[in-house]
Amino acid sequence: MMYYWDEGRGLRNEPRHEWWSRKEAERWLLKAADQGLAEAQCNLGHLYLNEIPGQGYEQAAPWFRKAADQGLTEAQEMLGFLYFLGRGVPRDYVQSYKWVTIAAASRVKYMEGKITPQQIAEGQRLARGWKPSNRK
């Protein structure tokens, strides 16, 4: 919503157009987030994380939590990583594992609804046999 991919150089939060305003984006996201819209809550978390890298964790974590509690997979992943790092929340490996596992299960369940049982079985077989590459 507020961010764009800058020609392969990474995620940027600079305006693409003169009309874009970070404060205006925050204002609209807050309105939607306060009404309980999980996607807006998650986007607000990202806005705070990217505003001043390394300093937005305390503002972002509560918004990720609200969206995660509503079942938004992306927010569950983000919350899990925040717990793992101890950023914006106390470091808690159990909570981290919980949220990352919930998110992964959600992603798998979504995919299982889109593919055949044979494709699921083949994917599971390949996953069991996967080993990381020794390349550097």
User: Which pLDDT tens digit goes with each residue over 1-51?
Assistant: 444 333 444 445 555 554 557 788 889 999 999 999 999 999 999 999 887
For residue 12, what are the contacts with CB-CB under 8 A and spacing of at least 6?
3, 4, 5, 6
d(CA 88, CA 59): 7
Bridge partners (DSSP) of residue 5 are 11
Is the model's pLDDT at 70 over the cut of 90? yes
pLDDT of residue 133: 85
Condensed to tens digits (0 to 9), the pLDDT of residues 93-113 reads 999 999 999 999 999 999 999
For residue 83, what are the contacts with CB-CB under 8 A and spacing of at least 6?
89, 90, 91, 92, 93, 95, 96, 99
pLDDT of residue 24: 85
Tell me the fold of 4-129: 1.25.40
pLDDT of residue 13: 55
Condensed to tens digits (0 to 9), the pLDDT of residues 39-64 reads 999 999 999 988 766 778 999 999 99
Tell me the domain boundaries of the chain. 4-129
Specify the pTM: 0.75
User: How does DSSP classify residue 25?
Assistant: H
d(CA 56, CA 12): 16
d(CA 21, CA 47): 12
